[in-house]
Amino acid sequence: MIFLDNLINGLSLGSIYAIIALGYTMVYGIAKMLNFAHGDVIMVGAYIAFCGLQYWGLPPVMAILVAMAVCTVLGVTIEGLAYRPLRQAASLAVLITAIGMSYLLQNLALMIWGANPKSFPRTFINSSILRVGELSISSATIITILANIVIMVALTLFTSKTKMGKAMRCVSEDRGAAELMGINVNRTISLTFAIGSALAAIAGVLLCSSYPILQPTTGSMPGIKAFTAAVFGGIGSIPGAMLGGVLLGVIEIFGKAYISTELGDAIVFAVLIVVLLVKPAGLLGKPVREKV
Amino acid sequence: MKKLFAVLMAAVMLMSCTAVLAEGEAVTLKIAHIGPTTGAAALYGLATLHGAEVAVEEVNAAGGKYKIELINEDDEHNVEKVINAYNAALDAGAQMILGTTTSKPCEAAGAQGYVDRVFFLTPSASSTAVTEDKDNVYQICFSDPNQGAASAQYIAEHKLGTKIAVIYNNADVYSTGIRDTFVEKGKELGLEIVSETTFTDETTDFTVQVADAQNKGAEIVFLPMYYTPASMILQTAAAKEYKPIFFGVDGMDGILSVEGFDTSLAEGVMLLTPFVATSADEKVANFVSKYKAAYNEVPIQFAADAYDGIYILVEAAEKAGITAEMEAEEVCDLMIAAMQEITVDGITGSMTWDATGAVTKTPMAATIVNGEYVFE
Amino acid sequence: MMKMSKSKRKRLIYNCVTFALVIVAFIVLQSMIANKTITRSLKGQLVPICCWVVMAVSLNLVIGISGELSLGHAGFMSVGAYTGAVVSGWLLRAFDMQDPTLRLVVAVAAGGILAGIAGTLIGIPVLRLRGDYLAIVTLAFGEIIRNLVNVLYIGTANGKLYFSFLNKELPADVTMLVDGAKGAVKIKPISTFTAGFVLIILTLIVVLNLVNSRAGRAIKACRDNRIAAESMGVNVTKYKMMAFVTAAVLAGMAGALYGLNSSTVVPTQFTFNQSINVLVFVVLGGLGNVLGSIISATLLTVLPEILRAFADYRMLVYAVVLILVMIATNNPIIRAWLTRLGNIFRHKFQRGTEKGGAAR
């Protein structure tokens, strides 16, 4: 029973990591950059949803939609202003810019919303408890896991069936060739940021529905964990991000529950290292063949 | 040194000008507030800064012997940066320091101040290491061991239960400090600790910790931590339908004013605290209303401590006869002597100090009923 | 033949300029301290600046010269800081070694050695990986080190050292040196600016010599084309390991100096964010450019202090400055414009491209 309880908690935490990891992995796949500011876009999304619910009295679904819209605009703006001028630059330069962007978003949030933590209001997402035998499962857990599955299926369909999605795959495969084939690379990258950021807003709402404290630094640790998850599953791969996220969540909860809460994070990272040593390109990553 | 001298000269000249222009002969005290006003711990640093600002405004408006010039330096809750903040404050001509807000930086800056002879009054750094081996640092809040022991005592005396779970932040000095003495004292008093789990500043998921307490049948869950993680634990417990007595410490105050927090989750939570914002006390109500008007927030305990801090510094300065021309080195020993003689009735209680720098005041036990604190 | 000697001369000038700059800066600052014209604030930052310079130069060895993105450099620094604090505290309490200079030297050496051991243990698995996977594993190791240090207890009594892990089970009469989350406590600060200067010079000697030696050329060959290097018979793992461990040793020494500059050290000082900070120094200074690392580490350590005038906005301003500088120095259009603007700086920018372009 305790085992099942832990498993469900792990799946729930892992699903949140997975949704965040999707944002990392999509941007990485297409723009070949680690967008460190992604965790902070999540935080902004959560704050906007919070404002919608608490100050503007919007119904939950509307609040989420507004948050998604704001994050989409934010993501595209960040990309256009900070990352696009560096398209030809070394990827480390872009990485540092992304880090600067992360500091900027955190400090802006501190300025706008203050340092005092906010508690994310209760919505339909986390207001009820489901009882199965001795287990009590929060509705947030179920909705998070379901949302995770829906998003993954939708993204997979999008990238394999639609024209835009195919363009994204082309750009990720070979940017130069895609350009030659008449694909607008800049627009495709913008679109990727738009989708990634909209997902970040959803992730923010789900994160704060399960763990309801909202601060300017809320996004950073889940962001790093999700980035780890994306690499764990094979960065650039959508099912990989999903698998990596869920596994990371489950390992974290099991490590804490059965080994030691003090060493919880150390266990997660140790497992990660072992996996990467055995499979150097992550669980579902494509091994890169070297051209000689 | 030259710069310090120049700053002091400027201050003296400015003083003499104002003395000619203004009618009163108020002495200007330069007090530096040091605390994290950016970064992850910004909420504590901003609270102490704002609390101090409210008090400074009152003191300056009252037109007593002293006028206060408040200097603020950000330490980012970082042991390296705090030394920079401290040096910048002294460069700006600070005579004494109200700070630092958090324990580890205070330990580092206090040690430097001990060498340089600079007086520190910390509103909220509560670990014993803050005052240990130095005579220049005084505290306004309880020390951690003090709180841990008092909590164990209270639980045993009131027979709230015998099976206890402790959840604490093992990366935080405040949390581990209280936990250590609580466990020690608890064993002495026959309390049984059935579950002990930890978390860190980055933890977002508390299901394991709460489940462990629940599965081991704890009747009381002791939460030596600040209200931010505490509110997450309460929410997690509610989702698991686990309803023990939650027992908190002074860091728990503030939980009721977290925006958006469902206060019904905190129903029945008990805590030992010297200050609650909803108190009917006249002085407290005055402070809370001014604070709300200025910053649009309900003050937390940190703000109240810093508010008291300004009044304590003024009272001690008066006793010690501090003047505007004195440098920090000279001020230090005079303030140390004065601190041991004064008694201050602040909004966090009536306080006296001994040579160790630790404060003597009485905590009150409160229970949250219908979203309000009720004292026994 | 002519070309060889020209590049050799260029290198010699570059090295001389680097050393000269550090030495002149030291002399100027020392004379400022002597005639007391230095502000307290700057004086307090001197030792940390030295530590960050060493951190940046050593990380540059891994990232710029060996071409591997490491995100766990702060982990080695924490190993050094803790070792330094424990060794110094132990020598003082158990052997009554009062001479601070001797204690500092022993502590810094010990910090370097232990960090070197950690570097070797971590390097063996890590260097089998490539690119971002290597980055994430170094990140993971950095976090693991921090997690372990957080539950480490070390005390000293009667000349012996007592260790305990996870649970604090030490004899009652010990003096705590490392106290779990409370970090290394009761350190007697003994670091001096002169020691920091010596450490920087030592680092420069080690790094510049390594870079310009046979081994250094092998390391750069592995960075530029691993397969070509391998087929030429270069033992890639050995040379990458050499760079990684050297960097770890230097970071450990910097850590020991850093730890002994303060009365206390906490695990939260050596998080992932701190590694990222050092990475920013390296990238901003130019990959492979040692002089650049020194300058950017110094400027970026001092910058937030200068920005104190902006009060609450300073971290915001810092972020904006960081983004703008990165765009300005990396956007081809702005760069071309800048180059045209000042032909005097042309030389420097070219060096930036030539060294920076090679690593990822």
**What pLDDT was estimated at residue A227?**
87
Model confidence pLDDT, tens digit, residues B36-78 = 988 778 888 999 999 999 999 999 999 888 999 999 999 988 9
For residue A283, is it within any domain? no
CA-based nearest distance B160→chain A, Å: 27
3-class SS of residue B137: strand
Q: Where are the alpha helices (DSSP H) in C35-173?
A: 40-60, 73-94, 100-126, 131-149
Region C189-217: what's the mean pLDDT? 93
Higher pLDDT, B166 or A91: B166
pLDDT tens for each residue of A82-127: 999 888 887 788 888 998 999 999 999 988 998 888 888 888 887 7
**Looking at the domain that runs over B2-142+282-360, which CATH code has it been given?**
3.40.50.2300
Q: Which residue in C has a C-alpha nearest to residue B172's C-alpha?
A: C181
Alpha-carbon gap, residue C343 to C139, rounded angstroms: 40
CB distance B239–A256 less than 8 Å?
Answer: no
Contact residues, chain C, for B176 at CB < 8 Å: 180-182
Number of domains in chain A: 1
Residue A238 sits in a domain whose CATH number is: 1.10.3470
Backbone dihedral angles phi then psi of residue C300, each to the nearest 5 degrees: -75, -20
- Nearest Cα of chain B lies from the Cα of A165 at a distance, in angstroms, of 34
Query: CB–CB of B79 and C189 under 8 A?
Result: no
Mean pLDDT, rounded, of chain B: 87
Query: What's the whole-number mean pLDDT along residues B302-328?
Result: 93
CB atoms A262 and C334 under 8 Å? no
CA distance linking residue B269 with residue C238, whole number of Å? 60
Is the per-residue pLDDT at B149 higher than 80?
Answer: yes
Q: Using the predicted structure, report yes or no on whether residue A162 has a pLDDT greater than 80.
A: yes
Tell me the whole-structure pTM to 2 decimals.
0.87
pLDDT band at B170 (very low <50, low <70, confident <90, very high): confident
Give the nearest partner residue to A262 out of B43, B170, B231, using CB atoms: B170
How many C-beta atoms surround the C-beta of residue B8 within 10 A?
17
Given a cut of 50, whether residue B23 has pLDDT beyond it is no
Residue A289 maps to a domain: no
Choose, out of C146, C166, C327, the residue to mutate when testing the contact with A (most A CBs < 10 Å).
C327
CATH architecture designation of domain B144-273 = 3-Layer(aba) Sandwich (3.40)
Whether B198 and A257 lie within 8 Å, measured CB to CB? no
Test B40 with A136 for CB contact under 8 angstroms: no
Nearest chain B CA: its distance from C314 CA (Å): 9
Per-residue three-class SS string for chain A = CHHHHHHHHHHHHHHHHHHHHHHHHHHHHHHCCCCCCHHHHHHHHHHHHHHHHHCCCCCHHHHHHHHHHHHHHHHHHHHHHHHHHHCCCCHHHHHHHHHHHHHHHHHHHHHHHCCCCEECCCCCCCCCEEEECCEEEEHHHHHHHHHHHHHHHHHHHHHHHCHHHHHHHHHHHCHHHHHHCCCCHHHHHHHHHHHHHHHHHHHHHHHHHHCCEECCCCCHHHHHHHHHHHHHHCCCCHHHHHHHHHHHHHHHHHHHHHHCCCCHHHHHHHHHHHHHHHCCCCCCCCCCCCCC
- Is A290 contained in some domain? no
Q: Containing domain of residue A153, as a range?
A: 2-278
Residue A169 domain flag: yes
Per domain, the residue ranges of chain B are 2-142+282-360, 144-273
User: C38-56: per-residue pLDDT in tens?
Assistant: 888 899 999 999 999 999 9
**DSSP string of B153-189, one letter each residue:** HHHHHTT--SEEEEEEETT-HHHHHHHHHHHHHHHHT
Which residues span the domain enclosing C320?
2-356
Residue B11: the pLDDT is 52
DSSP secondary structure code for residue B259 in this structure? B
Chain A, chain C: beta-carbon pairs less than 8 Å apart: 128
Residue A284 lies in a domain: no
If you count them, how many residues does chain B have?
A: 376
Residues of chain C found within 8 Å of residue A86, distances taken between Cβ atoms: 326-327, 330-331
Residues B101 and B33: their CA atoms lie apart, in Å, by 9
Determine the residue type at C125: P
Phi, psi of A215 (to 5 degrees): -140, 165
Give yes or no for a contact between C284 and C294, defined as CB atoms under 8 angstroms apart.
no
Q: What angle do CA A102, A107, A110 make, to 5 degrees?
A: 130
A168, part of any domain = yes
The chain C residue lying nearest B133, using CA atoms, is C186
Distance (Å, whole) CA C132 – CA C71? 10
Structural domain count, chain C: 1
Task: Report the alpha-carbon distance of residue B155 to residue B238 in Å, rounded.
Answer: 23
